[in-house]
Structure formats: structure tokens, C-alpha cells
Structure 1
């Protein structure tokens, strides 16, 4: 129990006035004082749900399906020795520790979607739970532009993208208000999981409401209204948009949606989420939005709304000043060299929906669908770095192993649990025998990195931001 959860009287009066019919304030308070059930999402870029279920059973993990996400589960696991975040499966990206209600916005975005979106904007994306969920839904096809205002949080976002094997992502570091003018009507889908007061997160953070006031809520709502307008301008006609928050107040939720609908009137329609999952009616608002209180499904409080853009609207006018793009598209000779070398050295075959670009001695793999945007906006990171050139060929990079390889290549080296522990701590390993060149390092059936033979040891190629040094499996 968390009896010390801080719930200001003013906040409780505010909530009591908006609770759905039949729900009491005492139920709300009791739910806020209960610890959250831990939940995870299986990363289907790395494994299937069925294979993960078998792995969980072997480990003694108990899984309960989350009704609005077909890859999400509440989990019961003994973490007294090893936290879930320090298991090999987590560090290799087989699953993402994600709060159950936060899986709903992406589920809503892809609900009743027959084909993959060619381009998706995740406007406020760190730490990456929803970005990686989108990438899994897309099966790394198309392109995701993942934006984050905070530069420090971009590093965390990139680390999670690397860990989960995402290859179709481009990162940006802007105020989300720029997208409507800089990339108008560019995206098939937009997710705005807006910065908010965090009222629904008290079960995870007992002090989340320490500075709560209705004045600060209204100030945040003003920012959200600006962001949702920008998101709508960035959306193509016919495209889908989801707006979500982990707030409970109508000021940050229904009223922001009303602002969007009244601003764009005939160019927009709201899409009901009644059939998003079997019990969605319990949290459905009259407008068709999902407004979750902590007691509704025993999870964090959340709000989700979906819209469709019906027609084009005039975007904000902007003046662009972009420097010279530092990359050049690889010529046929370099493309052939890269493809042949990857196949010969690692048995890896590049997919057709990506393109090779070069900067100095660096070789990068960009999503093909990113190309129309390259001269329109400054990106902090695009696609994945796959190699550096040198006089004797190519020095392959970590994400070749984790984002491009399938795990079925002939050039995989299987290692045991002790060697895997050493690997995740950033240390070189000494398997039996010796070899030459680069090698895909595989543990328990999944690839965990890229190494290089140096005599009878394998030099560790794990990026520093993915290294762990304690409480490992």
C-alpha cells in the first residue's frame, strides 16, 4: 500500500465533480493508494508473443493479457534477486517495461487500420515506449519521426530504440509546435502523447500532485492546445491522429479536443473508441473518447482520443533556414560493396525499404520514406549507423546485429550465461576456439550484439549506453 500518496483537497474536489456516474471518490482514493501492477509489452521486432509466453513459463513469470494491447501483459515475477530490467530478455529488447494504460494510444492509432502507415509522427516520444510500440506495429516499415523537446531525454530515447532493434526511426529535438509549419500534411498518422500534469501517475509517483493547482492545469492545457493544432497541420488529409495524456482533468483532455474540433470544424471528425477492446464502454465519454480513472481497470489514469483529417487546411507560414545536408546518397558502387560485404562477412541481407547514405567515412541506413523530409527539417539522428569505411573494407556497427540481423545467420556465435553476463557488462569474452573478423553474438536463441575476433577472444562492441554492471541475470 502507498497510504502516503499526496492528494490535495482541492484536487479531490476537482476530481469528484468529474467522476463518471456510479463511481465514488472513496474508490478513486483507494485505487490511488494501491501499488501499480507491473506490466510489460512483448517486442515483436525481436520475438513472437507465443515464444515469449514459453520463455516466461520457463522462468516462472505469470502473465495476464492486457485487453487493449495484443502484445501487452501484466506480469508477476520474483525480482528479489534480478529486477526485470536486468534480465537478458529485457537488455536484448525482447520486451519493454511499460505501464498498461500507456499502451492504449498506439493501439488506438492502429485500430481498424488495414495497412501500415507510410509515415508516423510521434510528437513527444521519450523515453520511447510508444515509439518502439509503433515500430513493432509497423514491423520496422515506413518511417517514424520521433520528437523530444528535452535533449537529455533524447539520449534515453535513442538507447531504447537501439535496444529494441528499431531501424525505421528518425529523431528530432524541437518544440512540437514547429511541425505544423515545417512539415505540413506530411504524415499518415500522428501521435501526440502530450506533456501534462501527470495526475494519473500517483500510483507510481506518490508526489506527482505535490504542486498541483487548477491554475497550473489551465496553463498546461494552453500548451496542449498549441501542440494539438501543430499535430493536426502535420497530418495528411485522410490521416489518423491520436491525442493522449496521463492527466485526469477535463481541462487537459476533453477541452483540448473540443478546441481542436472547433478550430478545424469541417476538416476533422472524431472517431469513437467504443470497439477498441471489449470493456472500453466502462471508460467511454459521450464524445467517444476513453477517459480512464485508476479504479476503472486497475492501472494508471489516462485519456485517449482519436481523430481523422477530412480535408486540407492552410498551415502556418514559416521561414526556413537550413544548412547543407551533411549526408550524400550512396552511389551504386558503394551500395553493391556494402551489400556484398555484409552478405559475405555476416550473412546479412539488407531489405528493400531502406537506403544507404554516407557522411565522411560513416555509412548509414535510412528508411526510404524519410527521403521527402530530408531537406525540410533538421534531424538529430536518422535510421541506423551500419558501418565505418577503412582501407580494408568496413567496420560494422552494433545496430547491424540488433536491428538488421535475424538471428538465423550462419555467422552467429552462441555463448553461455556467464559469457552473456560478461558481454552485457561491456567486457570482452573468450569462447572456445578462435576466429577472424566480425561475428554476431547470440545467447539463448537471440542476438545480443556484434563482436570481433582478436585471437582467441571476442572484442565487445556493445555501446556504452547499453552496458549494465550490477544485478544481472
Structure 2
């Protein structure tokens, strides 16, 4: 067997699984399954299937998910760098599907890094509603913010906060909450041998303390009638069925929404909980679900859908949303905030910290500069409210006053910087656009060397007639560079050359 499993883990699974134990252990001799999920913010599933460079097989529980052959290396293709798909373990695609997200929802991804599930949520929102995505570890928010930007998300706020601080700012606000809980990681032993080696130190007991606290706080974040999806990638009943039993006992206004008929899921196992007589309505737990690696093509996962049928009273009597239809890029926010934003180099969110300007004049100048840029370079009205942190300009889907006192990594869509009254567009502005949103565009062939050369930051020879212009526009100015028609970054054409504006921190580094 390739994976060295902890002896205590093996013995526990032998006791739990009985006659299925041999099949479970045999799954560890198989190679892990590789999956990609189509980013429908940029391309439809049907369109991607037509142009896919890989052989695709559908993943049963995710309409946008596909298995790709082991060893196909989907990270080494221009389409990956254009944000057309996210590389994701197939089972990890299931929890977001269970949230049943609809455009306009207010969604919180509470333990979000590196951002795979957040980008899946954003694709389902299709630019409407709001996504607040959070991770308590500052270092991990770098990857989270970059993935939000690479995949063209316009309506997300990225936080680096503890759950209780978020609950203070957003009491009973979200109608969908995802808790991809920190866990002992038993379901990922086949994919990541480090998890098997660290199992004893990253113990079930330590994880249950964190999970219990996160679930408790999540109930304060949920709006009446809202849904929490709790998921782990572990097999331990203490982290799964028993955790849900404790939550239901402490929160009688919640019920389990059964996963009956959901593809791939086996029923939960309430009989595995010690001292079952302590918990009322324990049979509800059969409505939770498990993805078993010996029954499906994927790693191990647990999920529970919890709906709140209670009443939040007066705590919901406030409005922190900013209706997109009422705001434009040219509108001045005119508010003062104390929120902090982690600044970033080359769009990556690496280092430094900036404080939102306390002067309405700074936001007025930035809004005017952005509006001038948009009028001359873009063909769409940017959603949200213009918010300034230092020299950086964002379009926020929320009233920025509601972020006061929170550690904010991104208050919204990072669209550019303003210096000396002049606006320079950001790379995340480009990645969230569509080809027809720009006054100028240049299409690169994804199968040709020039696409990779662009992604490596090289200057390219370019005939003038390849610059596609809106009627009346000149070739001077920013051009949206598209790989096979899908936005990938900025460039400027001049005298037969394409000046590359692809930021250094994002460039293709593979041979």
C-alpha cells in the first residue's frame, strides 16, 4: 500500500465499517482522482466542453465538474491562467452544491482558503447578491484573494477575521453559510500523505473544539429560514454526526434537511455516536451524508444541511447591502471608515497594510478618475460603490461602514490605483471583464506559443489589424488581452508591438 496509515485510524475504521472494511482499504491502492470545475462566470459548461483540451467525464454531484485523466496536468494550460476552470478534488465540489445558492443570495464562506468553494459560490451567484469569504489565518488569505481575483469575481468581500467578530458585524444577515470546517483530514490521506503523518498531532479531539465553536457562532450569522452547510473531509463520527447532534440539541430551531437522493452520498450513521440516548431526534442524523472513497470516484467527505426555522427578532432590522442598481463607478461614497485592508503587490495581497482614507475628497477624486477611465476604456457600468484604501480603488457590494473594525483583505472588486489624479487599471479588473466589455481587445490563440509568452510577461510583435476596436476608438490605450476570447489581462499596442501589462506576481513560471 502506497499510503502509510496510522495504526489507530485503521483499527477504528475496521470497527466502524465491518464487512466494508476490506473495500475501504483497497481504495488506498488506487490513484487519486483529478477534477476540474468550469468557471461559469467566464464560460458556460457547454462552451468549455467544446474547447476542452482534456478528456472529460462528468462528476455526478456537480454539474460544472469533470474528471480529467490522471497525469493530464490541467495547471499547465493557458485556459487555467485565464480562469476558465478551477482544479479541485471531486468530492470537495459537493458541499457548495448542497447550499442550493441562487442569484441574489447573501453567502458567507467562513473557512474559505484557498478559495475553491468560494469561487464555486461566486459562479452560482453570477454577479448578484454578495459573497463574504473569510479565513482566520492571514497567510492563507493571500491565496484566497488571488483566486477570487483570477476567477473574475466582482461581488466578494475578503476578510481575515475570527467568526465571532464577523457575527458582531453581521448578526443574522446571511441566508446561506458554508462551514468547511477544520478537521483531522482523514478523508484526504490518499491524496495528501502529510495529513496521515500529522494525524496524531492534528487530533480529532483538537478539531472538535474548533468545530463546536464555529457552529455555535454560525447560528448567530444566519438569517431566519437560512441554511448552513457543515462539511468535513474526515471519517470520525465525533467530528461529523456527533457534532451535528450536539448542535441540534443546543439549537432546537434547526433541523437537518435530508440528503436523500443526492448523487454519491451514503446516509449518515447515527448509530456510531456514543451515548446516543443523550440526544433527542437522533434519527435526523441519517439525513446527513458521506462520500466514501470505496463507493465513489473521490476522497472522503461528510456533509450536513441545517435549516433554521427560528426568528431573529429585531436583530435583522438594518440594511448593510448596497443595491447594485443604485450605485455606479462615478458615485462618491462620502463615508469614513476605520476598517483596514491588507495591501498587495502585483495584485497578490502579499504585504503591507493600508487604512481607508478618512477624507471624502480622496474618494471623490478616485471615483472621478475611475469614471473617466471607464468612459474612455470600458463599455459597462461598474457595479457597487467606489471605496478607497490608500491609493487602491475598489467597487464594494456592501455599505463599507459595516466593515468598520474588521480586518479586511479586499472590501470588494479591486479595480485599480489612483496616483496624482490618474487611474491605472488593475489586473483583477481585467480578469473579471468579458471581451465585449472593453473598447479595445486582442485575441491570442490558446494553442499557440504567443499565449504562453504573454502569460510569461513578454513583449510580443503584433500587427495593428489584430486590435479589435469599438467604432470611433483609436488603438491608443489599454487593450483587454483575451486567450481564445476569454479575458486574461491588459496590454497596450504601439508601433507593431504589444506592450505586456501582465503583472510579475501572476506570470507563468513553468517551463
Task: State TM-score, norm by structure 2.
Answer: 0.80
Closer/same/farther in 2, CA of residues 197 and 334 from structure 1, 3 Å limit: closer
Q: 2:29 aligns with which of 30, 33, 40?
A: 33
Residue 468 of structure 1: how far off its partner (Å): 1.5
CA distance in 1: counterparts of 2:148 and 2:374, whole angstroms: 22
What does 1:428-443 correspond to in 2, within 5 Å? 428-433=459-464, 435-443=475-483
Q: What is the Cα deviation at residue 78 of structure 1?
A: 6.1
Higher relative contact order (CA 8 A, sep 6+): 1
User: Partner residue of 1:153?
Assistant: 140
Equivalence map 1:263-274=2 (5 Å): 263-265=250-252, 267-274=253-260
Contact 2:444 2:481 in 1 (8 A): yes
Residue 186 of structure 1 aligns with which residue? 173
Question: Equivalent residues in 2 for 1:311-460 (5 A)?
Answer: 311-312=310-311, 326-327=356-357, 335=367, 338-339=370-371, 341-345=373-377, 347-352=378-383, 354-367=384-397, 369=398, 371=400, 373-375=402-404, 377-390=406-419, 393-407=422-436, 409-416=438-445, 417-433=448-464, 435-453=475-493, 455-460=495-500
Q: In 2, are the aligned partners of 1:183 and 1:377 still within 8 Å (CA)?
A: no
Secondary structure of 1:291 counterpart: strand
1:40-78 alpha-carbon deviations (Å, 9 max, x no partner): 10000110101111112xx3x221111111101111276
SS in 2 for 1:15: helix
Q: 1:226 aligns with which of 209, 213, 221?
A: 213
CA contact (8 A) 2:338 2:356 kept: no
Q: Whole-Å Cα distance in 2 between the matches of residues 355 and 392 of structure 1?
A: 18
Separation in structure 1 between the aligned mates of residue 145 and residue 165 of structure 2, nearest angstrom: 21
The corresponding residue for 2:502 is: 462
- Is 1:15 the counterpart of 2:17? The answer is no
2:223 aligned to which of 236, 249, 257:
236
1:275 aligns with 2:261: yes
The equivalences for 1:41-56 within 5 A come to 41-56=37-52
After TM superposition, give the deviation of residue 390 of structure 1 in Å: 4.6
Q: 1:242 to 1:385 in 2, by over 3 A?
A: same
Match of 1:308 in 2: 307
Q: Give distance in 2, aligned partners of 1:410 and 1:146.
A: 32
Distance 1:362 1:380 in 2: 12
Change (3 A) 1:323 1:150: closer
CA-to-partner distance for each residue in 1:248-300, whole Å, 9 max, x for gaps?
Answer: 110111111111111111x21111111333x53x3454520111221121210
Deviation at 1:33, TM superposition (A): 2.4
RMSD of aligned alpha carbons = 2.7
How far the C-alpha of 1:463 sits from its partner, in A, is 3.0
User: Matched residues in 2 for 1:211 and 1:62: separation?
Assistant: 35
The equivalent of 1:100 in structure 2 is 90
Deviation per residue, 1:301-353 (Å, 9 max, x gap): 000101112224699xxxxx9568715779789656634531422x330254x
Give, in angstroms, the shift of residue 446 of structure 1: 1.2
Find the counterpart in structure 2 of residue 318 from structure 1: none
C-alpha separation between the residues in 2 aligned to 1:323 and 1:10?
A: 47
For 1:197 and 1:142, the matched residues in 2 are separated by 33
- Give secondary structure in 1 for the equivalent of 2:196: coil
SS of the residue corresponding to residue 171 of structure 1 reads strand
CA distance in 1, matches of 2:307, 2:389: 39
Contact 1:180 1:232 in 2 (8 A): no
Alpha-carbon contact 1:169-1:383 (below 8 Å) kept: yes
140-149 or 430-439, which deviates more = 430-439
Q: Using the alignment, how far apart are the partners of 2:365 and 2:508 within structure 1?
A: 40
> For 1:323 and 1:392, how far apart are their aligned partners in 2?
23
SS at match of 2:296: coil
Paired residues of 1:274 and 1:284 also in contact (CA < 8 A) = no
CA distance in 2, matches of 1:98, 1:409: 31
Give the structure 2 partner of residue 64 of structure 1: 57
Q: Aligned-pair distance for 1:420?
A: 1.5
The aligned length equals 447
> Partners of 1:228 and 1:310 in 2: how far apart?
16
Indicate if the aligned counterparts of 1:412 and 1:441 stay in contact, CA closer than 8 A. yes
Q: Distance in 1 between matches of 2:20 and 2:254?
A: 35
8 Å contact kept, 1:173–1:379: yes
CA distance in 2, matches of 1:460, 1:263: 57
SS at match of 2:176: strand
